[in-house]
């Protein structure tokens, strides 16, 4: 198993949650990789229409929603650790 530098790993539980989040994001392809980081092409001159990203598939929308929900749960646990500990 590859090791990854994970921020906010003050406790073993926080480290485990951060690793789960990292693996989940990688598995669903939610974090942009360096080879995918490209700036979009500039809009043609004279167009005032804002550029909209292409619509996502249902699976991609559900994956993003699940990742956001999981990140919210992780953040809630971290906040609780800060205020309770």
Asked if the structure places residue 40 within a domain, the reply is no
Number of structural domains the chain divides into: 1
Closest by Cα among 60, 61, 40 to 51: 40
Cα gap 77→14, rounded to integer Å: 8
Q: Are 81 and 11 in contact (CB under 8 A)?
A: yes
Cα gap 20→26, rounded to integer Å: 10
Q: Are 13 and 4 in contact (CB under 8 A)?
A: no
Asked if the structure places residue 20 within a domain, the reply is no
pLDDT tens-digit series, residues 9-35: 577 777 777 777 777 777 666 665 555
Q: Return the pLDDT at 71.
A: 86
Asked if the structure places residue 67 within a domain, the reply is yes
Cα gap 50→42, rounded to integer Å: 11
pLDDT tens-digit series, residues 32-76: 555 555 555 555 555 565 667 678 788 888 888 888 888 888 888
């Amino acid at each position: 198993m590859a090791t990854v530098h994970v921020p906010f790993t003050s406790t073993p539980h926080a480290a485990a949650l951060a690793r789960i989040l990292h693996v989940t994001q990688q598995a669903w392809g939610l974090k942009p990789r360096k080879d995918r980081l490209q700036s979009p092409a500039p809009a043609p001159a004279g167009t005032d229409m804002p550029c909209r990203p292409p619509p996502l598939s249902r699976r991609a929308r559900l994956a993003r929603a699940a990742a956001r929900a999981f990140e919210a749960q992780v953040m809630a646990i971290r906040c609780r650790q800060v205020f309770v500990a």
